[in-house]
Structure 1
Amino acid sequence: MTVTRPARLTGAALCAALALIAAVWILQDLASLGSPADLAWYWAGDHHFLIRGRSTTSLLDPALLAAYAATALAALRSRHAASALAAAGAATLALRLPGLWAAGSGALVTALLELALATGLVLTAAVGRRPADAPYEQRPTRPRTGPAVAAGILLAAAALFLTLWELYWAGELPLETTFDRFTGGRSVVKPALAPPPGWLSLIAAALYGTAAVSCFARARHSRAFGLLAAVLLTAGGLGGVARAARYGTLVRLGDLTTLDATDVLTSVFELLAGLAVLVLLAGRGAPDAAPAPHPAAGARSPAPPHPTPPGW
């Protein structure tokens, strides 16, 4: 299957609109905080810059901005355009859904716009597909076995670690706080556009797990979902490692408590695993098996042997 030309253009335009929305909010935060470095440190978890202004975006926004830009390029040129559009649309729908009940009209309007654009991406990927009839048309390929299995193991481990962390916090925090972590209640302080932390972990774990299963099955859509999962995984790990370097905990793990050291090591794993999955899935896919030769139309069956054997 491939994607029609109008569907490619529509998908690229929708991704460009999503990227533009993210860029506008990032530029607004940059004007509020006054320095790109301060905004980057804020995304990493250093919130001492809030005295200069209030940030609306989180580390998720630049990660999605990069994903939208890559998806727009894939929509125009890649053989995996349909799966890339579907992955970006589905992830946006899941991640931006809590914006419907977030405080502030700006967050609500942004959520409505992004949900509408994401729905358009999913519909475009679904209705814009057609069979690849011409021999020159590129068909989606499966990932090679070795890289696919390795990427699946890393993504499955990331999903497991994220799930274990959420189970830990669910046991440590009061029930009301745990509920707020998934719904964005008053006990959770977060940027306006950011999903609640528990909700983000839930969606990320589901994305990592889905991508891992598709990698193990060597599905044709595994590259799109795996690369998107790797972008989010790398962003989360980079933020944690940068925060640990900022506070000096990265170089003195022996002085930390078991919980803090585990948190730092988890961030290091996420960063390295995300980069590894990007490398593993960005390579060429496995070539499709050559079709079996068919006899030409109207060709006669071979003549019987001569002399014919008994019972022929």
Structure 2
Amino acid sequence: MAMNDAVPPTVPTAPASTARLVGAVVCGVLAALELAWMVKDFGDVGLHDTVWTWSGGMLPGQHHGLLATNHLDVVLLAVYVIACCTARKPVGPSTLLMAALLTLAFRTPTVWIFSTDWADGAPDHTRLLLTALAGVLGAIALLVIALTDRRLTGNAATAAPPRLGPAVTAGVLLAVYALVSLAWQLYYMHEYTADRYGPGSYWNMFIGKGPLNSLLAPPPFWTGWAIAVLCVVSAVLAFIRTPLARALGMALGATLIVIGAATLTLLATAHVPFAFHGVPTRMILEHVTILMEIAVGVVVLCLLAPGDRRPAMTGLPGLQPPAQAYGGWNPPAP
């Protein structure tokens, strides 16, 4: 029998390894940009006020000028660091794709906001626009790198997929949350009508012409739609158990936790009562949705977190499975 000396498809070739290194560099640059804006906010208003504003304990723009960053920038910074550190590992393509999708979701609106006339007077206008452009271009580069890596390795499943039960459960939870989020967006479309808030009020808050909670933050209604779409994508990936389902699902789980916790703190700061008696039905449903958001994030994060895998064959120490003991040849079945 002839021996096959070809490189296994799951081992990155030299071009694929180089592409992953470039991906790590791109993530490092994006992380440095995020960190630079955070340091600027620390210098402008202090570490305490910056972190307290991120968490929702201080209303944006009330006690100090509008910050450049918010809690979503903390999420992006963590995503870039993780993708940078894992780019050359088997999970590299998945984490690079995850970083690309989240960057496109949260940075794309910043490009058009600072390309319009209404944002001309914003502080650091040019630097904010360049940061957003760098994010979008970096995300496109990460997409190309990850897809190129999969083509060069010849195998899309470079990392272990999540187990069937946890993957399906996480997918169902993400799909349910996406439906709830879309239902709220449809409600807001009806609520923000010309009679109550003026013409085009929903559209203005979707494209960023309305109030923002930070200079780099995506518009609130855009964020709702973007997260809902990403949850649907992640749910589908979880149902078919691709390696990307783990990276994207965990990132979305952490994002839901951060957004939900910041919203709860913001409601408390604004003295909005967290009660279920004597308050409008809409407020009750909003509170329930926030609690659901946090709960879904925690459960999805736990379900998709990598855990110990049972070995394919157990036995006495030193014994090897037949595939290893015979150099890859398996004895015929009796």
TM-score range, shorter chain: 0.7 to 0.9
Residue in structure 1 matched with residue 97 of structure 2 by the alignment: 86
Matched residue SS, 1:191 = coil
Residue in structure 2 matched with residue 50 of structure 1 by the alignment: 62
**Matches of 2:61 and 2:208, distance apart in 1:** 22
Equivalent residue for 1:266, pick from 271, 274, 289: 289
**Matches of 1:100 and 1:49, distance apart in 2:** 22
Residue in structure 2 matched with residue 154 of structure 1 by the alignment: 173
Map residues 121-200 of structure 1 onto 2, 5 A cutoff. Answer: 121-129=142-150, 130-131=152-153, 139-174=158-193, 175-185=199-209, 187-200=210-223
Residue in structure 2 matched with residue 218 of structure 1 by the alignment: 241
Map residues 66-77 of structure 1 onto 2, 5 A cutoff. Answer: 66-77=78-89
Q: Which runs of 5+ in 1 are unaligned?
A: 297-312
| Regions of 4+ moved over 6 Å | 285-290
Asked if 2 retains the 8 angstrom alpha-carbon contact of 1:2 and 1:132, the reply is no
- Shift in Å, 1:101: 1.9
Q: Normalising by the residue count of structure 1, what TM-score does the alignment of the two structures yield?
A: 0.82
- Shift in Å, 1:35: 3.4
Q: Deviations over 1:71-117 (max 9, x none)?
A: 1122133x221121112112212321112222222221111111121
Change (3 A) 1:118 1:32: same
CA RMSD of aligned residues (A): 3.0
**Matches of 1:125 and 1:22, distance apart in 2:** 22
Residue in structure 1 matched with residue 256 of structure 2 by the alignment: 233
- Shift in Å, 1:54: 2.4
Percent of aligned positions with the same letter in both sequences? 31
Answering whether residue 299 of structure 2 is matched by residue 276 of structure 1, we say yes
Asked if 1 retains the 8 angstrom alpha-carbon contact of 2:110 and 2:216, the reply is yes
Q: Which runs of 5+ in 2 are unaligned?
A: 1-9, 114-118, 120-124, 194-198, 314-322, 328-334
Q: Deviations over 1:215-270 (max 9, x none)?
A: 12222321122122212212111212222444565753434322222222211221
Q: Deviations over 1:106-133 (max 9, x none)?
A: 2211111111211221111122233379
Change (3 A) 1:287 1:209: farther
Asked if 2 retains the 8 angstrom alpha-carbon contact of 1:152 and 1:215, the reply is yes
Structure 1: which amino acid aligns with 2:47? S
Choose 1 or 2 for highest CA Rg. Answer: 1
**Matches of 1:167 and 1:43, distance apart in 2:** 27
Asked if 2 retains the 8 angstrom alpha-carbon contact of 1:143 and 1:286, the reply is no
Residue correspondences, number: 289
Asked if 2 retains the 8 angstrom alpha-carbon contact of 1:142 and 1:285, the reply is no
- Shift in Å, 1:2: 5.2
Q: Normalising by the residue count of structure 2, what TM-score does the alignment of the two structures yield?
A: 0.77
**Matches of 2:11 and 2:253, distance apart in 1:** 24
Change (3 A) 1:139 1:250: farther
Structure 2: which amino acid aligns with 1:121? L
Change (3 A) 1:248 1:153: farther
**Matches of 1:2 and 1:201, distance apart in 2:** 39
Change (3 A) 1:48 1:120: closer
Answering whether residue 24 of structure 2 is matched by residue 12 of structure 1, we say yes
